[in-house]
Amino acid sequence: MSDEGRAALTEPAKDLGPVKEQLRTDGYAVVPDVLTADEVAALRSRLVQLAADEREAARALGAPESDEAQFVRTLVAKAQEFRDLAVHPTALELARHILGPDLLLWEAFANRVPPGGPAGGAHIDQGPMPSDITWPVVCAFLYMLDDFTDENGATFVVPGSHRRHRDELTPESFAAGRVTATGTAGSVIVMDGRVWHSIGKNRTSDFWRHGALMFYSVPYLRVKENWAFLTPPEIVQDASPLLRELMGFKMWRSLGGPKADKAFIGGQAGVSSYDGQLLKEDEASGWGAVRPPWLN
């Protein structure tokens, strides 16, 4: 696999200028035809199988039998199809436009929303951040693995809400300002982490709605899913350099390094000799070998 992911993934749209402009003004955009029909089918099939496996193992998140959506988390650790999706070139170009050149994969999950599935609560994706962080530190990509319609509960978004302070929005203003981000299977909804949104109610009687979400963050933010802890070593070893970088296995300035060097003992302003390097197993130092008694 190349650094850019497998060649089977579609290339970036030729002109993302209008998308970037809509992200600036509205905080979100729907980009059509980012995935081919074959890619959609493969991702959807894998999601359905993973969801079934987790239900059978009594490890499912959610209760679809009672109209509650089922969530499948840590996708990068579970299936190659989603590892490929994490490095989709269109998503990475737009994520870098929103956040800057250096990224982390913050979270990766998918959901199956059953017929009758309820609407979700309004929120912003960088909600865990302090409210005085008014710039984007997270962005989201919701890939439509089915057509998203008003009837089956496509995502509600409040255009321009990323330019307002989070405390200004009320349930009433959300209801008054929201629009429905509909699209065909293979489209992706791109959202600035500050934009207010929620999933809609699936009002159909027989249609399951499937979506896969990839979130990216700035490189200095703690990730929501701990890839170093959650991903089997053989998957990390087989991953492309780009994916390993997104998973946090690459030094960024003085963050995420394998051992002490001069940056940690009074060297140049937070710049490490490991800056920009992918980490290797044999580079881990002995830190942690001597443990305080309360950790033993």
Residues 6+ apart with CB under 8 A from 198: 119, 120, 121, 122, 123, 155, 156, 174, 178
Residue 172 included in any domain: yes
pLDDT at 100: 96
- Does residue 9 form part of some domain? no
pLDDT of residue 11: 56
pLDDT, position 265 = 43
Positive or negative torsion for Cα 199, 200, 201, 206: negative
Q: Is residue 241 one of the residues assigned to a domain?
A: no
Domain end position, chosen among 201, 217, 233: 217
What's residue 65's pLDDT? 58
Q: Are residues 198 and 52 in the same domain?
A: yes
Same domain, 269 and 131: no
If asked whether residues 154 and 281 sit together in one domain, one would say: no
The segments of the chain whose pLDDT lies below 50 read: 1-8, 260, 262-271, 283-296
Q: Are residues 21 and 150 in the same domain?
A: yes
Residues 110-154 have pLDDT tens digits of 999 999 999 999 999 998 899 889 999 999 999 999 999 999 999
Same domain, 91 and 147: yes
Are 188 and 260 part of one and the same domain? no
Is the domain of 50 the same as that of 195? yes
Residue 254: what pLDDT? 74
List the domain range (segments joined by +) for residue 133.
17-217
Any idea what the CATH number is for the domain that residue 154 is in? 2.60.120.620
Which of the 8 DSSP states describes residue 2? Answer: B
State both tokens at 222: 């703690």
Read off φ and ψ for residue 237, nearest 5 degrees.
-65, -35
Residue 109: inside a domain:
yes
**pTM of the shown model:** 0.85
Task: Copy the structure tokens of residue 191.
Answer: 């959202």
C-beta of residue 250 within 8 angstroms of C-beta of residue 256: yes
Domain total of the chain: 2
The answer on 140 and 83 residing in a single domain is yes
Residue 160 sits in the same domain as residue 45: yes
